[in-house]
Amino acid sequence: MALLIRGGRVIDPLLDLDDYLDILIEEGLISRIAPRIEKEGVPLLEAQGKVVAPGLIDMHCHLRDFNERRKETIATGTRAAALGGFTTVVCEPNTDPPMDNAKTLQRWIRLAKQEGCVNLYTKVCITQGRRGEQLTNLKALVRKPWVVAATDDGSPVVKDEVMGRAFVKAREHELLLTPHCEESRATIQAFQRANPLIPLPDAIALYKREPHYVARDLMLAEKANWRVHICHVSMAESLDLIKKARARWVPVTCEATPHHLTLTEKDAGKCGPDAKVNPPLRKKEDVEALRQGLRDGTIDVIASDHAPHTPEEKARGWEEAPMGAIGLETTLGVVLTMLVHPGIITLAAAIERMSSNPAKILGLPGGSLAMGKPADITIIDLEEKWVVDPLSFASKGRNTPFTGWRLRGKAYATIVKGEVVMKAGELLV
């Protein structure tokens, strides 16, 4: 199958490319890039007035499925990804049941092959049941090319000794660790059980927070001389620790989410449970630090942390509602509206953080428009104006803090391995 993309502004940070070019796709690969390509009998996709970029990669996404199909499935989640401009999605392993054994992983692979409409990869659990006690059998879980990292996302691995052994095992199997460095409800409750006289609000305040786990995991990464990618950084202090670690040549990368880059703890009160996320929304000073981290390169990746829940669950009220917000269909629009158009970061930097860098960190085949690369391409309309309406989403989730936001910029087309899976807001799969 062939396709000719004509007349778009082609931006590829890895190639240091920003020019008006045609792209010819043949047999699912990029075969030629030039100012003007003539090829008879090849379908045209006109891209004048639009940006043609390497396919967006979301390296932190919850697609649920298994026993939580009411929240999201691989089928609905990947279609939401296509609408949002993502050609590749990396799933978190805190599923029900968790991705901590070969049988569950194989079940996921079957679903991914059957139901996915974009490229799919997954992480696996660091510990059995994500309980932080016994390491999983990484040797049995490193299934290439499907498995790209290990994490107990949703909870930190609390015990230093267990996490230390995880780094040793990860290096042995050449698997990236992407730890969740933040207090979770489960760990706070465990702390309170051990200190029953301390009220819950005080327990939350006293319990070791994000910077503690960031510092600990950076130290363990340095000791093991192995790579670590810090998930959803949300605090200025965490960024400072990462900067200092890089100065010591610790192999660390990190990510931030659109909601942590645009919303504060005051917004959480206005939005209600749809803004209850893990880690929580932070202070204005933290948001400003994150934005500076994007500008100076401390933050390598923007990831959605798409975390769908049912409307009934989110309607329980702040204390009882689960943590998480959806983001596959809003991430690009929020980044363009709140970060690119105001000049906080350049368009090339946004593409780098949402495509080139995730591919490089995870060793994925995308992230560039170089000839011979897979034809995973996102075409972006920088000027399309639209209002966030979760009722129109392909995702089963409706829990977004951006409901009603007026955004400027949206994915116009999503091309996966040379196949147009979405165009002008219409799914073609």
Choosing from 305, 376, 381, 389, which is the catalytic residue?
Answer: 305
The owner of tokens 């009603």 is 404
Max Cα–Cα distance, the chain, nearest Å: 77
HEC sequence for 314-330: HCCCCCCCCCCECCCCC
Task: Give the type of residue at 74.
Answer: I
Identify the CA nearest to 42 among candidates 376, 418, 425, 427.
Answer: 418
- Rounded distance between C-alpha atoms, residue 395 and residue 79, angstroms: 7
As given in the structure block, the two tokens for residue 266 are 């005051």
C-alpha 359 chain-centroid distance: 12
Check if 12 is active-site: no
Q: What share of the chain is helix, strand, coil (3-state, %, to 5)?
A: 35, 25, 40
The owner of tokens 């990292």 is 149
Identify the CA nearest to 213 among candidates 132, 143, 140.
Answer: 132
Beta-carbon-side half-sphere exposure of residue 380 (alpha carbons within 13 Å): 31
Identify the CA nearest to 94 among candidates 182, 163, 154.
Answer: 154
> Are 262 and 294 a contacting pair, CB within 8 Å?
no
As given in the structure block, the two tokens for residue 310 are 């049912």
Identify the CA nearest to 273 among candidates 225, 320, 203.
Answer: 320
Catalytic residues, by residue number, are 305
